[in-house]
Amino acid sequence: MADTDEPSWLDQDAGPVVRAFAVTRGRARPIAGSFDLMAHVVAVNPGSARPAHLQPEHHAILALVMEPASVAKIASELDLALGVIRVLLGDLMQEGLIAMYDPPGGAEALADDVLQAVLHGLRDL
Amino acid sequence: MVSETSEPHAGLGRPIPLGIKVLVSGGFGVGKTTLIGSVSEIKPLHTEEPLTYAGVGHDDLAGVEGKRTTTVAMDFGRIYLSDELVLYLFGTPGQDRFWFLWDELALGALGAIVLADTRRLADCFAAVDYFERRGTPFLVACNCFYGEQPFNVAEVRDALDLDEGVPVMLCDARDRESSKRVLAALVEHVMRLRARPAGPTSGAARPAAVTP
C-alpha cells in the first residue's frame, strides 16, 4: 500500500515507535482495583452514556468485555502490555463501567469434580 | 434497553467462566510455543516491566540510561473445554531473570509442565527447582524432537533428581494428541496428590518424598 511510497526511516530494530505507557500518559499503576491475570471483566450497563474523555483503548476494552473476558485475554487481543491494560481497566472501574470477578482462590479451591470435568474436556477435545 | 434488574452483565445470561491456569516452562527453544500451539489458539501476551525491577543484577545499564522498561513476551493459549471451563496455558519466559513474572504466573496455577530436551537437560533445572521450592505440582515431559530420545524416562528422572511421585513422560510437542495426553497427565497427577492423606507440607515448603 502507501508504505512503498513513503521513505522507510524506521525498521523493526527501532522498537515500538510509541512507548507502551504512552497510552496511559505515563501512569504505571491502576487508580482503582488490582487485576489478576485470570480475573474476568465484564461491561456494566452497556447502554449508558460513556464519559467523553475515554480513549480509543478504553472503548476497545469495553467492546471486548460485552461478554466476560479474562485480563490475559484482553491484553493479548488488544496487543497492549499487561501493565497498560491494568491501568486502563482501573480507569473503567473508577467510572463504574466494568465489573471484575476474581478467580476463585487458586487451584486448591477447585472441587474434584471440576478436575474431572477438565480431564473429560481434554479427552473430548 | 437494559432492564431495571440488578443483573450487571452485558453478556446476558453468560456465566463467568472458570479459568484454570497451567504453566508450560523449560529452557529456551525446547518447544513451549509449539506445545501450546498444538492444543490451543495461541497469542502472544506481553508485559512491560520497569528495568529497575526486571533487570536488577542482570542487565548492564551502561549506555541505556534512557530505557526504563523492558518488554517480556509470553505465550498464552486458551482451551475452551465448555462454556464455563477454560484452560489457560502460559509459557513462562525463558530467561531466568524474569523470575518475578513466574511468581505471578505460578500464583493459583493448577500445575506446570516442564518441557525438557534430553540433549540439553540442564536447561530445565531452573524450572524443576522453582516448582519444587514453590510446591507447585508439575511433571516433566521430554520433547522427542526427532522421534526418539537418547535417554529413557528412568534416566531422566535420575538426572533431574526428581521425587518418586513426579511423572516423567515422553511427548511430541507438535502433536495435538500427545500434548493433550501431557495435559491430562498433569491433571491426573494433581488429583493423585490431592487424594494423598494430607501431609505436613503445603504452600511454599518443599514437598516431602511421595510414597508411591
Q: Where residue A26 sits, what CATH number does that domain have?
A: 1.10.10
* Cα–Cα distance, B49 to A87 (Å, whole number): 14
Domain assignment present for residue A109? The answer is yes
* Cα–Cα distance, A122 to A51 (Å, whole number): 43
Domain assignment present for residue A8? The answer is no
Q: Which of residues B54 and B76 earns the better pLDDT score?
A: B76
CB contact under 8 A, B45 and A75: yes
Q: E strand or H helix at A103, and its extent?
A: none
Say what the pLDDT of residue B98 is: 72
B185–chain A Cβ distance below 8 A for any pair: no
Domain assignment present for residue A1? The answer is no
CB contact set of B139 (below 8 Å; sequence gap of 6+): B111, B112, B113, B114, B166, B167, B168, B169, B182, B185, B186, B189
Say what the pLDDT of residue A40 is: 93
Tell me the angle at which helices A56-64 and A82-94 cross, rounded to the nearest 10 degrees. 90
- The residue segments making up the domain with residue A24 are 16-124
Q: In the predicted model, what is the mean pLDDT of residues B33-40?
A: 94
Total tally of structural domains belonging to chain A:
1
Q: In the predicted model, what is the mean pLDDT of residues B166-189?
A: 96
* Cα–Cα distance, A98 to B9 (Å, whole number): 9
How far off is chain B from A13, nearest CA to CA, in Å? 14
For residue B83 the three cell numbers come to 462454556
Domain assignment present for residue A10? The answer is no
pLDDT tens, residue by residue, A46-55: 777 888 889 9
Say what the pLDDT of residue B100 is: 73
Residue A68 has its nearest CB partner, among B16, B88, B109, at B16
pLDDT tens, residue by residue, B182-208: 999 999 999 999 887 665 444 444 444
pLDDT tens, residue by residue, B123-164: 899 999 999 999 999 999 999 876 666 778 899 999 999 998
Q: A6 pLDDT band (50/70/90 cuts)?
A: low
Say what the pLDDT of residue A111 is: 84
Instruction: Give the burial class of A27: count Cβ atoms within 10 A of its Cβ; 0-12 exposed, 13-18 middle, 19 or more buried.
Output: middle
CB contact set of A107 (below 8 Å; sequence gap of 6+): B20, B21, B108, B109, B110, B111, B190
Residues B154-158: contacts with CB under 8 Å, at least 24 apart: B156/B116, B156/B118, B156/B121
Domain assignment present for residue A54? The answer is yes
Domain assignment present for residue A94? The answer is yes
Strand order in the sheet with B138-143: B41-50, B69-82, B85-91, B18-26, B111-116, B138-143, B168-171
Domain assignment present for residue A105? The answer is yes
The interface predicted TM-score (ipTM) is 0.79
Measured CA to CA in angstroms, residue B78 lies from A123, B87, B89 at distances of 16, 6, 6
Closest CA to B32 of B151, B147, B156, B124: B124
Q: Which of residues B185 and A4 earns the better pLDDT score?
A: B185
Strand stretches in B37-190, DSSP E? 41-50, 69-82, 85-91, 111-116, 138-143, 168-171
| A window 80-119, beta carbon within 8 A of B | 81-84, 99, 101, 103-107, 110, 112, 114-115, 117-119
